Chains A and B, each alone.
Chain A
Amino acid sequence: MTLEQLHFEPDRRPLLEVRGAGHSYGERYGCRDVSFELWPGEVLAVVGESGSGKSTLLGMLSQRLKLSEGSVRYRLGDGDVVELSELSESRVRRLWRTEWGFVHQNAADGLRMHVSAGGNVGEPLMATGWRHYGKIRAAAAEWLARVEIPADRIDDAPATFSGGMRQRLQIARNLVVSPRLVFMDEPTSGLDVSVQARLLDLIRSLVAELGLAVVIVTHDLAVARLISHRTLVMKDGRVVESGLTDRVLDDPQAAYTQLLVSSILQG
């Protein structure tokens, strides 16, 4: 074990502790009574049909939507545990720059479509104070290689990229600052099946390599099976079942989960 590893106290407390959390749109709850813990290195899949509240949950955890009830506690990089809803806007935005990532379903929501690929990956570095062009460009080039984007595309804008390449670029842009927690909202849907497989494999290996904690929303149980450790099944804004991913999928207990599992096309 290196000294560096001795400094931080791994796994003493969860990264994210969610207790009875809910978000209401006026009278109606988008999600409610959600409780779970997320630890460093863990991938949590949130599955359910559209309208089940999984995207609301993601928005609420990532502070894009207001917490209406309950608690979402986060362990900061320096070890302090904070109630996210009590943080000032500037601190939340600092978390976004330094500790969190968000991979959108639609790459255009997470990229600057008319800024070059290198600029897109370099922006988070510049946002955290990098001021050396050569170093920014080298880091961007390294990340483009890691997400399998050819080096000669570094100065091309993502507007000229294929869907799969855009998603990989979005992942590079998110991971370049070594976040601790990454939210992903249906990162593979909308892509061709072969492109999906490649992207999933990439996400899976990067997550393992970097020890990221990930909350990934998906309606695709195969995605949950391939990359997540644990799964929450949501229906009508509530968690109907949760547990180890292979347990939830191999031995589903809730009626709804059984329905979901039985609806998968066998490949």
Chain B
Amino acid sequence: MTRISPVGATLAVSGVDKTFTMHLQDGKQLPVLRGVSFDVHAGECVVLGGTSGAGKSSILKMVYGNYAADRGSVVVNVGEPVDIAAADPRQVLAARREAMGYVSQFLRCVPRVPAIHVVAEPLVERGVSIDEALDRAAALLTRLAIPARLWSLPPATFSGGEQQRVNIARGFITELPLLLLDEPTASLDARNRDVVVELIADKRARGVAMLGIFHDAEVRERVADRVIDVELFAPVLEATA
């Protein structure tokens, strides 16, 4: 497993602003976040709270690097610390490979690739042998109640719930020090929600730092060590003329 730095937070977000500039609407400025600052430590699950549209998802995406931050820093402290907000694409990709995983809301289906390979791929990309990766993928798919007869089929043909579970398996299969969870339990039934809660507990026990969004209050209650109210970072609306 990748080294986790013994001191300091695994993720340190500091003074981050985010404004969207809508060029297609005459350059309209849409300020979303101001002065976002928080830490996530190893072995802790921090949940972003707040109303819809408060910018929870934007924070997650700025940490992962698929949204740009206007200012501030997003430091991932694994091995050599990397400021995702300032890093070049290559460094961001390296941080994703070595340090952080992302469980998105939807599976972005790769055409023609069988489900079990979709799940195993993140391990293979990180140098795990194909046999071991497939074994671990099979174990996770079983745990998430995806019937074995579906494993060799491309997930594009699956139901929404099945796709989401394949996605979760893919997101949880790696052993990375930081895991970003973007509503992983949305559209799951109670049984599978429980499995995800268990998976999160396992990760926590193994010292993984997690940052997540959970709309389901019950799940949030069960997984969160801390909840950060994103509305604290709402921009002060300046009176417009």
Contact = CB atoms under 8 A, between A and B. Distances in A.
B129 interface: no
Contacts, number: 51
Nearest to B21: A253
A255 interface: yes
Contacts of A138: none
Tell me whether chain A's interface is mostly helix, strand or loop, or mixed: helix
A226 B24 contact: no
A165 to B, nearest CB: 16
B112 A198 contact: yes
A251 B92 contact: no
B158 interface: no
Nearest to B108: A225
A255 B89 CA distance: 21
**Interface range on chain B (Cβ under 8 Å from partner):** 10 to 19
A253 B22 CA distance: 9
B110 A204 contact: yes
A226 B110 contact: yes
A201 B111 CA distance: 7
A243 B65 CA distance: 10
A230 B68 CA distance: 14
B66 A259 contact: no
A42 interface: yes
Nearest to A37: B90
Interface string A229-267: 110000000000001101100110111001100100000
Interface in B85-141: 89-90, 92-93, 110-113, 125
Interface of B: 21-24, 27, 61, 65-68, 89-90, 92-93, 110-113, 125
Interface of A: 39, 42, 197-198, 200-201, 204, 208, 226, 229-230, 243-244, 246-247, 250-251, 253-255, 258-259, 262
